Amino acid sequence: MKLKQINIDFNEKSHAYVVEGELYAGVTTILDVRNKPFLKWWTAKEVVKFLEDKQEQIKSATPEEYSKLLDEAKKAHVRKADTAKDAGKIAHEYVEHYIGEKLGTKGALVMPENEEAVKAINAFLEWEKKHEIKWIFSELKVASIKHKYAGTLDFVAVIDGKFTLGDFKTNAQLSEDACLQTAGYWQALDELSEEGETIDMQRMVVRLPKDGKEAEEWIIPTPIKFDVEIFNALRRVHSWNVNTENNLKGENGKIKIN
């Protein structure tokens, strides 16, 4: 598969893409404009879990101690997310190097010590054994000049004879966001392709559990054109949000009134 060569730089710390010298929105950042009501229930659940075994501590706490405990409870979901993200990042990095070694682009990594990451990696290795796979790209940066966004897709491969654009997930469960995320990657890859091979490309998500269970493979069934249409609509909403923050609001976050 031949791709047009464009300059795409990624700053991991700020999670920002610069394409041909211009700042572009990231695919996952664009998806953040979607309302995710489940997050508030998950946040509340983590607060309860943090406090449920601290009844005696709460009874004897001073007002200052109680206030500090509540502050810790409010951040419980952040700590949980960071822990899961660390294990997932370690697993992703290992898989990236594993595929990269086969492609001759990266060297192999030593199996990490993080137990959750190891379980996710083993799930990947067992999943790979079940398929005939020809890896083409790993951690490929793509961008749409037309829509001014960029992203990094996990892999492009021929899997059991089918051209496939794929994403690895280590989340506890799959999300419908994957339909739109892969659509954004698909559109950018299609724009960069010199041969139009993306037309018949399937989109796949492979979930790599961190609890020792087998990998879950999901061939995305939603129509690619519809998913692309909705992704582009979210891109427009994201642009409007950025414009509003930059031009209508002051440093205090409030609307500026002339």
User: pLDDT for 165-219, tens place per residue?
Assistant: 999 999 888 889 999 999 999 999 999 988 766 667 999 999 999 999 999 999 9
Q: What is the pLDDT of residue 136?
A: 95
Q: For every residue of the chain, which 3-state class applies, written as one string?
A: CCECCCCEEEECCCCEEEECCEEEEEHHHHHCCCCCCHHHHHHHHHHHHHHCCCHHHHHCCCHHHHHHHHHHHHCHHHHHHHHHHHHHHHHHHHHHHHHHHHHCCCCCCCCCCCHHHHHHHHHHHHHHHCCCEEEEEEEEEEEECCCCEEEEEEEEEEECCEEEEEEEECCCCCCCHHHHHHHHHHHHHHHHECCCHHHHCEEEEEECCCCCCCCEEEECCCCHHHHHHHHHHHHHHHHHHHHHHHHCECCCCCECCC
pLDDT at 28 over 50: yes
> Which has the minimum average pLDDT: 60-64, 132-136, 140-144?
60-64
The tokens 């966004």 sit on which residue? 149
Q: How far is CA 97 from the centre of its chain?
A: 18
What would the mean pLDDT of 137-141 be, rounded to a whole number? 95
19-23, 47-51, 166-170, 176-180: lowest mean pLDDT where? 47-51
Among 49-58, 105-114, 188-197, 240-249, whose mean pLDDT is lowest? 49-58
| pLDDT > 60? residue 79 | no
d(CA 29, CA 93): 21
Nearest of 243, 16, 242, 47 to residue 149 by alpha carbon: 16
Compute how many other C-beta atoms are within 10 angstroms of the C-beta atom of residue 150: 27
The burial class, CB within 10 Å (0-12 / 13-18 / 19+), for 73 is: middle
- pTM, two decimals, is 0.80
Question: How confident is the model at residue 258, as a pLDDT?
Answer: 64
Q: Give me the pLDDT at residue 219, please.
A: 97
Q: What is the rounded (10 degree) CA torsion for 132, 179, 169, 145?
A: 90
Tens of pLDDT, residues 93-120: 999 999 999 999 888 889 999 999 999 9
